Amino acid sequence: MNIFITGGNGQVGFELQRQFAPFGTILAPTRQELDLTNADAVDTYLAKHQPGLILNAAAYTAVDNAESEPGQAQRLNAELPAQLAKYAAKHGIPLVHYSTDYVYPGNGETPWQEDSPTGPLSVYGQTKLEGDQGIIESGASHLIFRTSWVYAARGSNFMKTMLRLGCERDALSIVNDQIGAPTAARLIAQITALSFTVHGSRLSIHIPQGIYHLAPRGETSWHGFASEIFSQARKAGEALTITPESTAGIPTAEYPAPAQRPLNSRMALDKLESALGITMPPWQSQLVLTLKEHLSN
């Protein structure tokens, strides 16, 4: 069976390649091999390779740039998922998609449920929400995992930015009023694989289809995440120029950016945990592993 992974070079896509390799032939074309903004090229690719499973890990993830490039974000985040879902529905194959905490309005302090009202604050969040809706409307057998604050040993992410800045700067200001859960890309891929069973040479989804929050347990701010990154990196012997005293927490208002971010990114995990019969690990435990992988590279 061909397993089509879009965005296979990204944080989540790369981990999906690792997790799903035992179950079929991985097709993970690069941007040069398949430009996902080209809808005709996507249709041609699907017709040629006839995948038995689609894992859509491609997206337009540059949150600030999306504000000035809404057309690109719309194509990647809204139209592509609907296009893949249409194919999946027509051919009776499952589709997995990844969504974001940025679909929620970010007010209050209560964790969002999967059926909480959405209210994206940014072009990125709005286009991601439209992607979720397109999949649900398609009738395809699907899983939509809403995750948050993704990091990995590869790709560009907050952990790697902090490790770089932490060795260059004497002081850093980091927002401390956006609250959420940093999620390792490896955990996302592992949970995705756990949601499937093998039937002969095919894979099928064994939990009810729909939207699931996928994040580790616990919560922190970006400042709290940065502090834990620095603390663990220091223990691992990294020569940081930054010190705990020189890492200041600031309100979002003091870190102006083109796109607005939600303050409350807490996501309830009950639905995923009970569907899979598991307890998600605390976010700190994933950081240890990812940092170790990054520092050994």
Ligand X SMILES: Cc1cn([C@H]2C[C@H](O)[C@@H](COP(=O)(O)OP(=O)(O)O[C@H]3O[C@@H](C)C(=O)[C@@H](O)[C@H]3O)O2)c(=O)[nH]c1=O
Ligand Y SMILES: NC(=O)C1=CN([C@@H]2O[C@H](COP(=O)(O)OP(=O)(O)OC[C@H]3O[C@@H](n4cnc5c(N)ncnc54)[C@H](OP(=O)(O)O)[C@@H]3O)[C@@H](O)[C@H]2O)C=CC1
Interface residue list for ligand X (CB under 6 A)? 61, 63, 100-102, 148-150, 158, 161, 172-175, 178, 222, 255, 261
Q: How far apart are CA 26 and CA 114, in angstroms?
A: 30
Where would I find the beta strands (DSSP E) of 152-209? 172-175, 179-180, 183-184, 196-199, 202-205
Please report how close the Cβ of residue 52 comes to ligand X at its closest, in angstroms.
28
Q: Write down the least CB distance from residue 95 to ligand X, Å.
A: 19
Residue nearest to ligand Y (CB): 10
Do the beta carbons of residue 51 and residue 92 sit within 8 Å?
A: no
Residue 149 touches ligand Y, criterion: CB under 6 A: yes
- Is 61 one of the binding residues for ligand Y (CB under 6 A)? yes
- Cβ 21 to ligand Y, closest distance in Å? 17
Does 148 help bind ligand Y (rule: CB under 6 A)? Answer: yes
* Cβ at position 96, least distance to ligand X in Å: 16
98 in Cβ contact with 142 (< 8 Å):
no
Nearest Cα neighbor of 163 from 240, 263, 261, 245 is 240
* C-alpha to C-alpha distance for 274 and 280, rounded to whole angstroms: 10
What phi and psi, each to the nearest 5 degrees, are found at residue 31?
-55, -35
Q: Does 262 bind ligand Y (CB under 6 A)?
A: no
Strands (E), the chain: 2-6, 25-27, 53-56, 95-100, 142-147, 150-151, 172-175, 179-180, 183-184, 196-199, 202-205, 210-213, 220-221, 247-250
70 contributes a contact to ligand Y by CB under 6 A: no
Catalytic residue list contains 124: yes
Q: Which of 45, 98, 102, 124 is catalytic?
A: 124
Report in angstroms how near the CB of residue 161 gets to ligand X at its nearest: 5
* Residue 17 interacting with ligand Y (CB under 6 A): no
Closer of 205 and 250 to ligand X (Cβ): 250
Measure the CA–CA gap between 8 and 87, rounded to whole angstroms.
19
Question: Taking CB within 5 to 8 Å according to partner kind, which of ligand X, ligand Y, none is near residue 272?
Answer: none
175 interacts with, out of ligand X, ligand Y, none, CB within 5 to 8 A per kind: ligand X
Q: How many residues bind ligand Y (CB under 6 A)?
A: 23
- What is the rounded end-to-end Cα distance, in angstroms, of the chain? 32
| Binding region for ligand Y (CB under 6 A) | 7, 9-13, 31, 35-37, 57-59, 61, 76, 98, 100, 128, 147-150, 155
Q: Which residues are catalytic?
A: 124
